Amino acid sequence: MAPSLDFSVLWAKDTRKGTPVVVKMENPNYSVVEIDGPDAAFRPVDKDRGKNAKQFTWVLLLKAHRAVGCVAWLATVLWALLGAVKKRLIFRQGVAMESEKSSKGKLLFKFLRGFLVLSMAALVFEVVAHLNGWHYFQNPNLHIPQTSEIEGWFHMVYVGWLEFRADYIAPLILSLSNICVALFIIQSLDRLVLCIGCFWIKYKKIKPRIEGDPFKSDDVEGGGYEYPMVLVQIPMCNEREVYEQSISAVCQIDWPKDRLLIQVLDDSDDESIQSVIKAEVAKWSQRGVNIVYRHRLIRTGYKAGNLKSAMSCDYVKRYEFVAIFDADFQPNPDFLKLTVPHFKDNPELGLVQARWGFVNKDENLLTRLQNINLCFHFEVEQQVNGVFLNFFGFNGTAGVWRIKALEESGGWLERTTVEDMDIAVRAHLNGWKFIFLNDVKVLCEVPESYEAYRKQQHRWHSGPMQLFRLCLPAVLTSKISFLKKANLILLFFLLRKLILPFYSFTLFCIILPLTMFVPEAELPIWVICYIPVLMSFLNILPAPRSFPFIVPYLLFENTMSVTKFNAMVSGLFQLGSSYEWVVTKKAGRASEPDLLAAAERESKAIGHTQLHRGVSDSGLSELSKLKEQQEAEPLPPKKKVNKIYKKELALAFLLLTASVRSLLSAQGIHFYFLLFQGVSFLLVGLDLIGEQMS
């Protein structure tokens, strides 16, 4: 048997050490003290012994003062917390809300306030019940229902809810879901036809080609080259981050200097930005580039008004073509030599559109998902429509127009925020043809933050609906063929601009969550899983490197359907937000090879124009002074703010609730789909996808 190790007996013993000592003093003035041990003389003395009433009162006062200070501190903290809540939720201070308009986004806050009032009413009821003694069941007039009665009430309410759900709610959801499913199938067939057309173009290697030497003069005696007069326009507005690289790239386009004019159309309202753009224009002007700076005093019509004002100049009449580049676009030096030759011997051609390339497509998850959509747009939609229909929507930049086509179509109009689509539709109605060059790319940026992307998508989806209302009578009364009218109305506007955001939002963001609470309106598995995955695969085909992001892409598209549907409705019914124009925020990024090539070309340009250096001393000195001033005076730091996207957050919690409900109902596929979809909404709502705090 193991030995017993019980130390309690040892611990209970007296552990005093040493020998008792008795000390006797001869002097009678001293008392005799007996010390039993070394610690006996140092035992603590009772603190309360010898304490008078006055000292006790002071102790109580100190403790009371400390308690009052603690209560005051708690009250201060509570008051500061309530003040912060009041500033953020009521006065919206220190938070960047989803919209600057106070009329928007109040529904969620009203719901929260109503829930708070209901909670306060329940609290008051509990207090009254406590004061009246109901919780002790001592009131003889208070009837306490039995368990069977409560179960009967709940059973009656639940049976009534089942009957109401089956008779009224389920048929309505089924009817709406059938309509959305039919629209979903039609839109999927349209996308499938576009993909088949793209495969056919790839298989047959169909693309616009240039025959012979397009610039060689037909005059045998001359034997030289003839270049048409080309006008290049760079519209911009407060583009501090990208103006320099855009102007530099355009000024280095390979084209005879006497046959080229560059217009920098600056609509900036910041004088510091105007000054640096003027200095940049002066720098290139002194190097021999034919470039001018234009600034409007009355800034109406946004980009359309800017372009319209520039086209009204008298010297524009000498030019035959106009190329347009937004402020973040960087064309290669051979851009005009790859696009302008297509106009030769083709008098019906009105537009040559180039493809966009993106320097920041791998910056974050948001840019990768945008790259998927834009690659499908250019590779499939634009290319197929250009080859088989000679019509597509002008992208607003990276394109060359025949000035005669612009003039005959009515020029730039300020009636919508999609002036590029407006002029393309009117040119198509006048019989002009378009060509899309998929192998000619112009580098640009995609928005890197969700806020900038959301505003861009709102403009891109509200403008077409507004334009559809305005141009529908002109389409019906035009002289183009019936098939072209049907394509323009049914496919270009209704199916791809109206039906797509409508069914996407209604089917996947409203009906699908409701089916979790209304089992009678169950959706088939091929609608919520198989066809969306197949369509996502087709969308990713033009960007094969994006296949790992197919699940985030599918869910993020449903997330953005909230913004697209809202924009579509505002444009269709001409609400106030359909006229909003917000310049997309840019980061001023450029790929490293492009920066090196631009620096090399610029150095060569400087070497070839040394004769003009003496004349440009004033402009260059002004530029150097401005740069030194910018470096010496750093910009004040911007206050970081949180961003709240209320619609996305509300829908996220709705979908997450529906996923929990589906889990309780053991509906596995619905649970996983809604769970991932809810998480994607939550990520967007919390601004975790690519948002960089300024």
CB atoms within 10 A of CB 496: 18
What pLDDT sits at residue 50? 54
**Residue 152 phi, psi (nearest 5):** -65, -40
CB 376 within 8 A of CB 544: no
420 catalytic? Reply is: yes
For residue 437, list its beta bridge partners.
354
Written as six digits, the tokens of 231 are: 């006008």
- How far is residue 291's CA from residue 619's CA, in Å, rounded to a whole number? 14
Distance (Å) of CA 406 to CA 228, 306, 370, 395, 427: 17, 15, 31, 15, 7
Predicted confidence (pLDDT) per residue in 546-565, tens digit: 888 887 888 788 778 888 88
Predicted confidence (pLDDT) per residue in 179-220, tens digit: 998 999 999 999 999 999 999 999 999 999 888 777 776 654
Q: Where are the beta strands (DSSP E) in 172-297?
A: 230-236, 260-266, 291-295
The rounded radius of gyration (Å) of the Cα atoms in the chain is: 38
CB 392 within 8 A of CB 424: yes
What pLDDT sits at residue 334? 94
Written as six digits, the tokens of 626 are: 């401005």
Spell out the SS3 assignment of 599-657.
HHHHHHHHHHCHHHCCCCHHHHHHHHHHHHHHHHCCCCCCCCCEECCHHHHHHHHHHHH
Residue (of 340, 353, 349, 435) closest to 398 by Cα position: 353
What pLDDT sits at residue 694? 39
From the list 266, 326, 328, 420, the catalytic residue is: 420
From the list 266, 267, 328, 422, the catalytic residue is: 267
Distance (Å) of CA 339 to CA 352, 358, 437, 672: 6, 20, 8, 49
Task: For the chain, list residues with pLDDT below 50.
Answer: 1-15, 17, 30-31, 33, 40-42, 96-105, 220, 222, 591-593, 595-596, 598-599, 601-602, 604-623, 626, 635, 638-642, 644, 663-664, 666, 685-694
Rounded to 10 degrees, the C-alpha dihedral 209/211/212/214 comes to: -80
- How far is residue 536's CA from residue 539's CA, in Å, rounded to a whole number? 5
**H-assigned helices in 478-497:** 482-486
Written as six digits, the tokens of 524 are: 């088939």
Q: Concatenated DSSP letters for 300-341? A: -SHHHHHHHHHHTSGGGGG-SEEEE--TT-B--TTHHHHHGG
What is the chain's length? Answer: 694
**CA angle centred on 468, ends 175 and 475, rounded to 5°:** 115
At residue 132, what is the residue type?
N
What pLDDT sits at residue 287? 92
What pLDDT sits at residue 692? 37
213 catalytic? Reply is: no
